[in-house]
A = this chain, B = another copy of it.
Amino acid sequence: MKETLPSALFALLTRDLTIGRRIGGAASLGIVFFLCLVAITPFAIGPDLALLSRIGPAILWIAALLATLLGLDRLFQAEAEDGSLDLLLSSSAPLELIVLVKCLAHWLLTGLPLVVASPLFGLMLGLDTHALAGVFVSLLVGTPALTLIGAIGAALTVSLRRGGLLLAILILPLSIPVLIFGVAAASRAAGFAMPFLILCGLALMGLALAPFAAAAALRHSIE
């Protein structure tokens, strides 16, 4: 029975990536959105480069958080609305793995491009090389954690018609720890190693818990 498992999951990954690419190239759109946010912030704060470079890592992290959130509420809702969720539930692949694969696809489409582009945006905010590297590495570890946490909220709100804001409310408190240690690692305020290790721990915890929590939520919200 299990020989079909890899191919089923691979088919799901390919499908989600294809849809993401077809619908306006989510990857490139994510970058442009990030760019907009980065551009807006200095404007709101004022053109003080010293201040900007000090809070630069924080801005990049907040931008990454919001970019991750923006598409996430439809992760399972779109599947539920058109009936695909029923079929995902009838697959012999465990729902936990299905959730994980969907998260992977979402991260590849929105998280990864942001991580790759973050050094460039860091430059625009006047970060130095050290800070750039810190932001890059911390985002690389942190954004998957954000996606995974977001998936729990997406699953919880799947049966509501408009979960966007509710999702944010469920998710933001959970993502605050990720944000704190991510920014701490990126800005090296308290050294790099310590907060980074905690960040890795959080990401691993997300990886271990989120698929189960999200799958349980999905099983209960179906009707």
Closest to A30 in B: B165
**Binary B-proximity of A27-70 (CB < 8 A = 1, otherwise 0):** 00110110011011101111000010001011001100111011
A78 in the interface (beta carbon within 8 A):
yes
Cβ–Cβ contact B36 & A172, under 8 A: yes
Which A residues fall within an 8 A CB radius of B?
23-24, 26, 29-30, 32-33, 36-37, 39-41, 43-46, 51, 55, 57-58, 61-62, 65-67, 69-71, 74, 78, 110, 160-166, 168-169, 172-173, 175-176, 179-180, 183, 187, 189
- Across the interface, which residues of B come within 8 angstroms of A23, CB to CB? 160-162
Query: Is B71's CB under 8 angstroms from A162's CB?
Result: yes
| Cβ-defined contact, B164 with A70, below 8 A | yes
Task: Count copies of this chain in the complex.
Answer: 2
**16 further interface pairs, Cβ-Cβ under 8 Å (given A24-B166, A33-B169, A46-B189):** A24-B160, A24-B163, A29-B168, A29-B169, A32-B165, A33-B172, A36-B169, A36-B173, A39-B176, A41-B62, A43-B183, A44-B61, A44-B183, A45-B58, A78-B161, A110-B165
Inter-chain contact A162/B33, CB cutoff 8 Å: no
Residue of B26, B51, B70 touching A70 (CB-CB under 8 A):
B70
Do residues A62 and B74 form an inter-chain contact, with CB atoms below 8 A?
Answer: no
CB pairs A–B below 8 angstroms (6 shown): A29-B168, A36-B168, A40-B172, A41-B62, A44-B62, A78-B161
Q: Which residue of B lies closest to A33 (CB)?
A: B168
- A41-B179 Cα distance, complex, nearest whole Å: 9
Q: How far is the CB of A160 from chain B (nearest CB, A)?
A: 6
Write out the residue numbers on chain B whose beta carbons fall within 8 Å of the beta carbon of A51: 51, 55
Which chain B positions have C-beta within 8 A of A33? 165, 168-169, 172
Specify which of A67, A165, A169 lies most central, judged by the most chain B CB atoms within 10 Å of its CB.
A165
Taking CB atoms, residues of chain B closer than 8 Å to A55 are 44-45, 51, 55
- Interchain residue pairs A-B with the least CB separation, the first 9: A36-B172, A44-B58, A29-B165, A32-B169, A44-B183, A43-B180, A45-B58, A33-B168, A23-B162
Chain B residues whose C-beta falls within 8 Å of the C-beta of A65 in the assembled complex: 40
